[in-house]
Structure 1
Amino acid sequence: MPSIELKLSRFNRIYQPSDLLEGKIVIKSSSSISHYGIVLTLNGSVNLQVRGGSAGVIESFYGVVKPIPIVKKNIEIRTSGKIGPGTAEIPFSINLRQRGEENLERFYETFHGRNISIQYLITVDVMRGYLHKSLSATLEFIVETDKADILQRPISPEMVVFYITQDTQKHPLLPELKTGGFKVTGKVSTQCSLVDSINGELTVEASSVPIQSIDLHLLQVESILLGEKIVTETSLIQTTQIADGDVCRKMTLPIYVILPRLLTCPTVFAG
């Protein structure tokens, strides 16, 4: 049984919209293969997705909200012919965005959300007629903002001061906390580049009960505007433990969180 595989020139599969997408099509077969053409398809779109389990509020709009096309290209790599036995490597190159080319939408950064995904896929099809099943392979690559755009719009880190006391909590507390008091102060960056970490610091000023753990939760906020109604869902995507056990009081603890690339993207507003 012949097999087909797509390999990109960059091992991390990260590209900017102005880059050239280069790679090779690897076909392995024990005998020669006749085909009616090898076609490469480039697809990028913003999609609403339904995951397994109970559907959320956003997912209820799955049949209403149409995908937003970003880019779609078809390139014929080879016309009809034959591929000999063994391993054949066919190189290819595609411009993601050419100057003067009219794109369907601007290139949003790759994002794997709970309800919304921004994906870029490259697919190769080897057409073999009615008697044989076509050979096909699909590979996802990651799109990030052009370096030129980043230089034009430098990101200045913003630090926000926060504090947590027994009075800021909305859930029921132990009587010891209510009477004895509790106070945590700190600061954390709320605006940064995706390639940078979230930094900050935290200090337990006072706690009348022992502390078991201090964790920082990274949340993902997704919204859909449908007519005049905005539906928003927030989901947890990562937890980072800042401290384990009862920490010393008035000691400054560092906050350092690496962002999971595929689950985060710059704040995006799309049609």
Structure 2
Amino acid sequence: MADLEYLRAFLAIYRSGSVTKAAAYVHLSQPAVSGQLKSLEQQIGRTLFNRTPRGIVPTAAAHDLARSIAPHIDALESAGDSGAHGSEIEGTVQIGGPVEFLTQRVLPTLAPLVRLGLHLRVVLGETEQLLEAISKNDLDLAIVGQHKKVRNIDSELLYHEELVLVAAPSWLNHIPRKGEISVRHLDGIPLLVYSEEMPQVQEFWESVFEVEPDTRPGVIVSNLRALMTMAIAGAGMTVLPRYYCDLELRNGDLLELVEPRTPPASRLMLASTSRSQRIPRNRVVRDALLRAKVQW
């Protein structure tokens, strides 16, 4: 059986996509974590990561191992590190945020606490309505976009959301194979957006091309899964958070149309009030999320 510490280090690498981030999470040096990974690969007789110019990529064996051990490692860490005894997590925590980030990052992180007896009530929404709910004490915690200071609400950085412009490989013939890509090279590729305001597209265009987008959207749908599915089907291009489409990029279902040296990013914040943080179960959830962000 593989050593528990090796498995813990492997899971940290798998989730963060970085030995450096994993080392910070497990409080070891980078060489020590690399050594643990090598020992684990020798024990199980499988290669778990392929090294590429863009970083480490999990193998099929890594995906299988992560699926089998993650629930058990998470439960052990939540029980031990957070000191989450029954009395501390008794009751219900009301948490809100964008559906995609909650689904991909937040709720899987909190699953071990649910197994220990925590009750969750989840509200899906946009930043303004979530902040209003926090201020009225209708929510205990919320994941929100970067915002102006709101009285009585404390916000902590939870995640840097890197944005990528993606499309199906079938659009490759519409852009140059070499040289820098400009806005004019994207003419003729339909734009798939989340809303009429196109906030992520606006941010990407202004950051990368230094202009505002002037293309009329081909599709508007307020769901990242729908946008990604349409992009994969060849409907056009869209701007997505990298965490949301990383697997599809690695599999070749999508390609990055532009790869800026400094990718644009938005910040996601963990919002709460001092009143809510006086409740032990809310502090346990907050601490679990702030620990997990190292792996994200």
Is this a same-fold pair by TM over 0.5?
A: no
Q: Larger relative CO (CA 8 A, sep 6+): 1 or 2?
A: 2
TM-score of the pair, normalised by structure 2: 0.20
Greater Rg by CA? 1
TM-score of the pair, normalised by structure 1: 0.21
Question: Whose helix proportion is higher, 1 or 2?
Answer: 2
